[in-house]
Amino acid sequence: MLPQILDIASLKAAYASGLPLLDLVEEVTTRMEASEDPAVFITPISADDLRAAAKALLARAPEPNSLPLWGIPFAVKDNIDVSGFPTTAACPAFAYQPERDATVVARLKAAGALVIGKTNLDQFATGLNGTRSPYGAPRSVFDSAYVSGGSSSGSAVAVASGLASFSLGTDTAGSGRVPAAFNNLVGVKPTPGLVPNVGVVPACRSVDVVTVFAATVGDATSVRKVMDGYEAQDPFSERLNQPPCPLPDFGSAFSMAPNANSSAIPRSKLCTTPPSKRAKSLGATIVPFDYAPFRQAAELLYNGPWVAERLAAVKDFISSNADDVDPTVRKIIEGAKAYSAVDAFEGLYKLGALGQKARAEWEKLDILMLPTSPTTYTVEDMQADPIVKNSHFGRYTNFANLFGYAAIAVPAGFDSKGHLPAGVTLFGPGFSDDALAPFADAMHRALGAGMGKDRHAALPEASKVASPASNWAQIVVVGAHLTGMPLNHELTGPGGRLVKACKTAGDYRLYVLPNTTPPKPGLIRDPGFSGGGLDVEVWSIPYDAFGRFVANIPSPLGIGKVTLEEGSQVSGFLCEPFAVQGAREVTDLGGWRAYIASLKT
């Protein structure tokens, strides 16, 4: 018997145990026909067409699980092209028949996944609530009086209700994250440019991202990796020429500063166990930060010239078919006419300035953790005040793509009555997607919120995301490689990231090596010596970069195990003892940075 939620790990296990693919097809067909929410799909696949797709897969790859997503059913937001289905963007007059699949859909099909239909959305992906569609308003799987979140409304409900194993959404302002929170799902929003947008009806072309809804972080990440990759036809696609940005192993998560909330927004009393406590239980350090630059950037997306991109995407259609557009959507898009080219450049300048302020906050951070949404509303309340209430949902989401961040939204628990779910989103720097996943997965498991409408489901061990630490090496640096020192670029160049500043154990001495350019120290361990420890930094770099780094270390320096003040041992710079004979000892200064400062004074 298949589980209520068709997570990928469980479905693969069922195939390995002998579940016939066509039995899965019949189960999905039965569930779709019995669905209690008629607004989930705009164009569902017919039972015969789904059977035909399954038979074609069996002819191409007869062995179960022989492809990465063999026999995995998925739904597609109806602003993403799928051959054989019309693309409507939730506007019947706009509908067209695509000649080919969107790049991401083609890659997923090649991996063995089966499309089960095109899902509902806020028209032209303009909204975060899911009520702006002539095809109806999908509802929260926990209470049909409440919104599902948008714009990727049907995509989230399809997974949360057990119809699909995963689904595709898009995210400009939070559309791949807010519906995840309202339906107890994971929403993976890749770094802009990581996943191609060819074959996607744009909302704001320069910041749009194709997203994944799934039951677990592991499932969603595996799907994202199938979709990843440069695509020359997408002008914003990125070709990675260096390793992705790492994060320390479970690094640090962070609480909001007092100015992060607003009394103007009624906040749901969700999450009986604060996520910050769970983060601390995983080893995170919770520190405050200034949310102001993030919030001000978020406001630019709808209250700045970026709204003109929405008009640019559909200007020809809306000029001839304005009456066919949802009134709220039309009001938002036509508001772009108030902005000039000068406004656009001034908006870019302002975003750049805010980006610099945000970078200063990231000096304190490894991972940024925020509520996915501060509140939720009933469909009735949303429709009574559609613009203001919709804007509340974007308070903690709108800045992400403007700043080029990776983000993963995870379930965070339910209110005290076990009624409505809430979520938190974890943000990392651009291209930290893989490094962010282990902590996001650990948070989901620690918060114990289940998967989709099955709030008591245990997350499968098979979908657990392993720490990326196995692909990265840590190294202790003591001198010219410290932050701000002349050779630090040898660490940052290949994507290295500072893990922490700390001290060595007390039995180390530090010497100034003669005739070195730039000046370098020699670190020697002297058992029996008792000092206060020396200031050092621990950095994380890719293993291949670590090998090149070690190969270029000049004599008399080398790499050995350095014992830190708390007793752990990490590979780091050590010096051969003969080289410090007659050299100046600077142990009493406490570290190399203090020695360099003493030269200036």
Active site residues: 77, 151, 175
- Tell which residue, 65, 47, 66, has the closest CA to residue 8: 65
Q: H/E element holding 330?
A: helix 327-334
Q: H/E element holding 524?
A: strand 521-525
Contacts of 441 (CB under 8 A, 6+ apart): 216, 217, 218, 410, 463, 464, 465
Q: How many residues does the chain have?
A: 601
- Tell which residue, 53, 56, 34, 106, has the closest CA to residue 76: 106
- Report the C-alpha gap between 394 and 376 in whole angstroms: 11
Task: Return left, alpha or beta for 431; rule: phi > 0 is left, psi -120 to 50 is alpha, else beta.
Answer: left
Contacts of 555 (CB under 8 A, 6+ apart): 576
**Could you give the 3-state DSSP secondary structure of residue 194?**
coil
| 585, β-bridge pairs | 511
Structure tokens at 337: 């006419």
Contacts of 489 (CB under 8 A, 6+ apart): none
- What's CA 211's distance to the chain center, in Å? 9
- Report the C-alpha gap between 62 and 463 in whole angstroms: 24
**Contact assessment for residue 393 and residue 371, using Cβ atoms and an 8 Å cutoff:** no
Residue in the block written with tokens 């997203």: 211
Residue 338 Cα distances to 302, 326, 334, angstroms: 12, 20, 8
- Report the C-alpha gap between 343 and 355 in whole angstroms: 18
Structure tokens at 578: 């003969």
- Report the C-alpha gap between 354 and 348 in whole angstroms: 10
Structure tokens at 280: 């601390």
Helices (H), 468-591: 489-492, 543-551
- Report the C-alpha gap between 146 and 141 in whole angstroms: 9
Task: Return left, alpha or beta for 298; rule: phi > 0 is left, psi -120 to 50 is alpha, else beta.
Answer: alpha
Which strands form 508-512's sheet, in the order they lie side by side?
A: 521-525, 508-512, 584-585
- Report the C-alpha gap between 537 and 534 in whole angstroms: 10
Structure tokens at 90: 């939730």
- Write out 385-400 in H/E/C secondary structure: CHHHHHHHHCCCCCHH
Phi/psi of residue 52, nearest 5 degrees: -65, -40
Helices (H), 411-536: 433-447, 489-492
**Contact assessment for residue 517 and residue 454, using Cβ atoms and an 8 Å cutoff:** no
